[in-house]
Amino acid sequence: MRRDEVDRSKLSPMMLQYMDIKDNYEDTIIFFRLGDFYEMFFDDAVLVSRELELTLTGKQAGLEERVPMCGIPHHAYANYIDQLIERGYKVAICEQMEDPKTTKGMVKREVIQVVTRGTRLDDRVDSKSNNYISNIYDFSYCYGISYTDISTGEFYAVIVDKDEHSVIREVVRNSFKEVIVNSKIDRNLVNTLRSNYNVLVTITDDLCEEDIYSYIYSNEEDTRIITTIKHLLKYIVDTKKTTLTHLQKVEVIKENSHLIFDGNTKKNLELTETIRTGDRMYSLLWFLDKNKTAMGSRFLKYNIENPITSKKELERRYDLIEKLSTEFILRDDLMKELNEVYDLERLAGRVSYGNLNAKDLLQLKNSLKHLPNIKKILEELNYDKTLETLDDVYELLESSINEDAPFTVHEGRLIKDGYNSELDELRSVKNGSKDFILTLEKEEKERTGIKNLKVGYNKVFGYYIEVSKSNKDLVKDEWGWDRKQTLANCERYTTPLLKEKENIILGAEEKIINLEYKLFMDIREVVKRYISNLQTISKIISEIDMLQSFSVISDDNKLVRPTLTEERKIEFIECRHPVVEKVMKDKYIPNDIVMDEKTNILLITGPNMAGKSTYMRQCAITIIMAQIGCFVPCKSAIMPIFDKIFTRIGASDDLVSGESTFMVEMKEAEYAISEATEDSLILFDELGRGTATYDGMALAQAILEHIHNKIKAKTMFSTHYHELVSLDKKLKNLENVHVSALEEDGHITFLHKVKKGAVDKSYGIHVASLAGLPNSVIDRSKEILSKYENNSKKREKENNSFEQTSLFDSFEPIVKESKIEKELEKINPIEMTPMEAINFLYNLKEEMKKDK
C-alpha cells in the first residue's frame, strides 16, 4: 500500500498525525517515535526494511488493510541512522514532545532534526577530517560555492568560473559529501555529482534572511558571496532546527591564494588516501600526521588539500619549524601538553547546538587546565600569536561538575557538593531521610524480634518492610502495618511513618535532579558566551600542533628547509618520495630534479617499473609539502611558488560515463593545457598510449610543442615513444633524461637512477619476464620481436637505397603531389588542440582509404 493511495478520512488520529508530518518531508525517511520504538510506515517502511534487513510487518491504521510498518528500538537508533546516511538517505527524527503519562489525547510530535551526511554532529564523524556540507549557486555566468563544517563552525566561500570542471575540482578536493543547489543549475552536473562522485544533492532556492546569522557575511561586499552563503544557511538551519551561532565568519578564498589542483591530482599523488585501498595509511597525510590533537590533524588535511601561495606565510612557518627543532626540549614539553587537549572546536559546536553532556564539559575543563602551560611554552618559542587561557571558565567547571558525572543529564550526580547551597540542603534532607530508613530497620528488628526483617525500595511500590513467609505470623495487628505486596517467599508492608519519609525522600530526589539539570544548563549558557574565544584558541592549537608535527617529521626523516625563489627554476638535490622511502626504508635511491630557467620540459624515458612515475610524483609532492609550510625530502631544495598542478598518471576508464582510457586522457590533457600558466607544474605519464602508436605519438609531440611554445609551464613528460627524444634538437627548452637500467646476459636490473640523455629501448619483454610470464611466452615474444626489428631494418635499408639512387639519377622523376601532402602543408601542429589533432588524423585516414 502506498501513502498516496490512502483515504485520509478513514485514518486513525495517530496515523493522520504521521501523514501530516510526512507531507513536509517527502524526500526524507521519518523515524516516528512511538513509546520505546521509532517506527516507519508506507514507502519508508518498505525501503528501510530492505536496506537494513528488518522485518516488514503491518499496523492497523483505521483502514481495512494494514499499512506497511517496521521499527527499531529508540536506544539503538544511531547505528541504523549510520547505515541509511552512508547509503545516501536523509533521516528525520520525529520525537514525542509531551509525556504520554500526563497527556490526555494525542501526544504532540515534532521533527526535532534532520540527519544527513553533511549535518552530523555526533561522535561518529571522523575526528581527523572535516565533514563539509556545501552548496553550488548558479548565477548563470559563474558559480558561488560555500561550505561549512557545522561540527566546528568553519565557513568558506569562493566564486568559480561557469564550467563543470571548476565545480568538480572543488567538490572532490574538499571531499564534499552533501551539496545543496538552486533550481537554475544544469541537471547534467547534478547527475554527475550523484552518479560519479556519490554526493547527496538537494535542490532548493530558499535563502536565509534571519539577522542572527548576518555576522557570518557582514564584512563581505560581493552580493554573490552573500547570496551563496544565505542559500546554504537556509538548508542548515531548517535541517538542524536550532540556533547555530557557533558558525564562524566566512573566509572567502581569493583567486591565486591557494595552489590549485583537481581531484585527479589529489588521487594520483595519493595526498590523503591511497589509490588501491582508499585508506589514509601510506598517503602523504599519513606520513605527515604526527599531530597530538584532532584539531591539528584536520588542519593538516585542510592544508594538504589547499596549499598556500603566500611567500610571507610560508617563510613564517619555516621559521617556526626551525625554532621547534632547535628548541626540541620545549617541543617535547609542548607535545605532552597538547596530548591532553581534547577537540575544542567540536566541543564548542556541541555547546552551541545543545547536545553536550557533563563528560563534554569535563573534557573542556581538562583541556583548559593545560592552556597556561602551552601559553608559557609558546612565549618561550617567540610564537607570534597570543593564546587565551580562559581561567574563569576553568574555575567555573572545576567547582561545579562532578568528575564521575553520568553521560545523561537527567539522572542527577552532575554537580559537586558546595557549588549551590539549595542543592546541598536538598541532599542533606535526602541523606538524612535515608539514614532514618537504616535506623528504622534496626529499631523494627529489635522491637518485633524478626531478625531477617529488612526495609527495601523499588520504583513501583516505593519503600516497604519485608518479612519472610516463615515469620509473617509474628506480625501483629496493633503494629499498624498495611500489607502492600505478597510474594512467593515474603510479605511486604508499609506504615504511615514510612510513607511520610518516602514522600520526603522521593520529593527531594526529584527536586535534586531538576535543580541539577537547571544548574547544568546555566553553566552551559555561561560557557556558550565563550564559543568565539574557544574557536580562536582552537585555531592557534591547530596550527602549532601541525607545525610541531612538521618539526618531528623533519628531524626523523632528514627533511630540509626549501629556498623559495623568484626565478623560474627547480633544483631538488637528492630528492626522495617521502612515503615510498618510509616503506622501503634503507633501499630508496634519491634523484636530482633540476629544471633551470632555460629548461621547462623534462622528457623522461626508461623501462617500465624503473621509477619514472615515482620520479614525477616526488617532484609534485615536494612542491606541495613546501607550499603547506613543511620542510621537504631533499638534500637541498630551491623552487618558485607554483599556482597550479596538473597530472595525468596511470590509465583508467571512466566506466560510469562510458568513456575510454583514451578519452579520459584527452580530457585531462585538454584541461591541463587550457588552464596551465607558466607558473604551473604539469605531469604527463605516457600520454597518448591509449590509442594507435602513430596517433599517440603525433598527439604527444603536438602537446609537447604546445606546452613548450605557448604555455611554458614546468613539465615532466614520461614516454615510451623513443622517436620523441629527438625533440630536444627542435625545442630548446626541452631536456631528455632517463631512468637507467642494466642489462646483462638477457637479464635486466633497475638502477632507479635518473641520468641525462635518452634511451632507445623499452625492455618490455624483460619486465614481462620479471612479472612471471611463462618462459615459452617470453621466448616466443623474443622471436617475434626479432622479426619485427629485422623487417624494420630491411625497410629502412630499402628507403635509404632509394634515396641514394634518386640522387644520382640522370632524370628528374615526375611525382604527383597528393591531397594528403597538400593538407599537411596547410596546418601548424603547434597551434592545434589535442582534439583538433585527433580529428585531422581521422580525416587523413579516410582520405587514404578513398585513394586505395
Contacts within 8 Å (CB) and 24+ apart, 721-730: 721/688, 721/693, 721/696, 721/697, 722/605, 722/758, 722/759, 722/760, 722/761, 722/762, 723/697, 724/603, 724/697, 724/700, 725/603, 725/605, 725/758, 725/760, 727/603, 727/701, 728/603, 728/758
**Alpha helices of 476-530 — where are they, by DSSP H?**
496-528
- Rounded CA separation 140/138 (Å): 5
Segments of 42-153 assigned E as strands: 57-59, 67-73, 91-96, 109-115, 133-138, 142-149
- Rounded CA separation 444/455 (Å): 9
Cβ within 8 Å of residue 738, ≥6 positions away: 604, 605, 606, 754, 755, 757, 758, 759
Burial zone of 787 (CB within 10 Å; 0-12 exposed, 13-18 middle, 19+ buried): exposed
Interhelix angle 344-353/358-380, nearest 10 degrees:
140
- Rounded CA separation 243/213 (Å): 9
CA-to-CA dists, residue 18 to 94, 96, 101, 112, angstroms? 9, 12, 20, 14
CA-to-CA dists, residue 485 to 456, 469, 504, angstroms? 12, 12, 22
- Rounded CA separation 556/49 (Å): 52
**Alpha helices of 129-283 — where are they, by DSSP H?**
164-173, 187-197, 223-240, 263-268
Confidence at residue 750, expressed as pLDDT on a 0 to 100 scale? 67
- Rounded CA separation 12/839 (Å): 68
Strand order in the sheet with 681-685: 645-648, 681-685, 714-718, 601-605, 734-744, 747-756
Coil, helix or strand at residue 423:
helix
For the chain, 852 residues long, the average pLDDT of each consecutive 10-residue run is 79 91 93 93 94 92 87 90 91 89 84 90 82 96 96 95 91 93 95 92 95 94 96 94 91 92 91 90 96 97 96 98 97 97 93 86 96 97 95 96 87 90 84 77 87 84 87 85 88 87 80 91 94 96 98 97 97 96 85 95 84 93 98 98 90 49 79 92 83 78 93 93 88 92 65 81 56 64 59 51 40 50 69 69 71 58
CA-to-CA dists, residue 815 to 157, 281, 498, 818, 821, angstroms? 66, 65, 125, 9, 12
- Rounded CA separation 441/453 (Å): 7
What residues are paired with 639 via a beta bridge?
564
Mind giving me the DSSP string for 605-636? E--TTSSHHHHHHHHHHHHHHHTTT--BSSSE
Could you report how far apart the first and last alpha carbons of the chain are, in Å?
A: 68
Cβ within 8 Å of residue 821, ≥6 positions away: none
Whether the Cβ atoms of residue 287 and residue 533 lie closer than 8 Å to each other: no
Give the global pTM.
0.82
Confidence at residue 843, expressed as pLDDT on a 0 to 100 scale? 75
Q: Please report the sign of the dihedral spanned by the C-alpha atoms of residue 512, residue 515, residue 519, residue 521.
A: positive
Cβ within 8 Å of residue 722, ≥6 positions away: 605, 758, 759, 760, 761, 762
Confidence at residue 813, expressed as pLDDT on a 0 to 100 scale? 40
Whether the Cβ atoms of residue 344 and residue 296 lie closer than 8 Å to each other: no
Residue written as grid cell 567547571:
397
Give, for 436, the enclosing helix (H) or strand (E): helix 421-448
**Among candidates 717, 734, 748, 800, which has minimal Cα distance to 608?**
748
Q: What are phi and psi of 474, to 5 degrees?
A: -80, -15
> What secondary structure letter does DSSP report for 725?
G
Residue written as grid cell 536538598:
426
What residues are paired with 463 via a beta bridge?
457
Give, for 456, the enclosing helix (H) or strand (E): strand 454-458
Confidence at residue 757, expressed as pLDDT on a 0 to 100 scale? 87
Whether the Cβ atoms of residue 307 and residue 259 lie closer than 8 Å to each other: yes
